[in-house]
């Protein structure tokens, strides 16, 4: 076998699996939105609310909170209440305490453009009961009236990977 043909076959053997893995990791069916805070301060009574369009109730979804802060953020965690308001008016609500630093005191997210952004896992494999518009509320449950050094909060909704 000549060298060009061997190189071509070897390239195909590598390219096809990599292309498949890359495409399977891309999630074309995802939604996200953020709410920025004035002066990088999240007032505890400023409760962001987002609309989520669910078109397939038979599909499991992974839901994350997007949280962006500076290196001067005063806590190692964020305490939130996350509520889903269903199209029929029903509400599902739960408190979450998310760590933002590891045991050594390092931020769990990488610094990018002077800020830290982390995807905090809320629910994996969530099944919605019906199609329609759901509302997602994210409440700051920290005891201070204003929490400084927070740029924005938001959500990411992705189809769960096929098992």
One digit per residue, the tens of pLDDT, for the chain of length 163 reads 555 445 444 443 443 333 333 333 434 578 999 999 999 999 999 999 999 999 988 899 999 999 999 999 999 999 999 999 999 999 999 999 999 999 999 999 989 888 999 999 999 999 998 999 999 999 999 999 999 999 999 999 999 987 6
Distant-in-sequence, close-in-space partners of 101: CB < 8 Å, separation ≥ 6: 76, 77, 107, 108
Q: What angle do CA 163, 153, 102 make, to 5 degrees?
A: 70
CA 73, distance to chain mean position in Å, is: 19
Q: What is the pLDDT of residue 94?
A: 96
**What's the pTM?**
0.79
154 in helix, strand or coil? strand
Name the CATH topology of 28-159: Jelly Rolls (2.60.120)
Q: What is the pLDDT of residue 30?
A: 84
Nearest-angstrom CA–CA distance, 87 and 55: 12
Please tell me the chain's helix, strand, coil percentages from 3-state DSSP, rounded to the nearest 5: 15, 50, 35
């Amino acid at each position: 076998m000549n060298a060009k043909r061997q190189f071509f076959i070897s390239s195909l053997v590598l390219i096809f699996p990599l292309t498949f893995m890359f495409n399977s990791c891309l999630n074309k069916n995802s939604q996200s939105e953020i709410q920025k805070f004035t002066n990088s301060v999240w007032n505890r009574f400023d409760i962001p609310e987002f609309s989520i369009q669910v078109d397939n109730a038979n599909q499991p979804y992974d839901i994350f909170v997007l949280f962006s802060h500076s290196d001067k953020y005063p806590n190692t965690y964020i305490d939130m209440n996350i509520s889903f308001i269903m199209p029929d008016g029903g509400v599902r609500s739960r408190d979450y305490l998310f760590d933002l630093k590891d045991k050594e005191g390092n931020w769990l997210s990488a610094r990018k453009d002077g800020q830290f952004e982390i995807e905090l896992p809320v629910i994996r494999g969530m099944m919605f009961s019906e199609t329609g518009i759901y509302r997602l509320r994210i409440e700051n449950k920290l005891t201070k009236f204003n929490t400084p050094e927070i740029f924005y909060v938001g959500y990411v909704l992705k189809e769960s990977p096929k098992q």
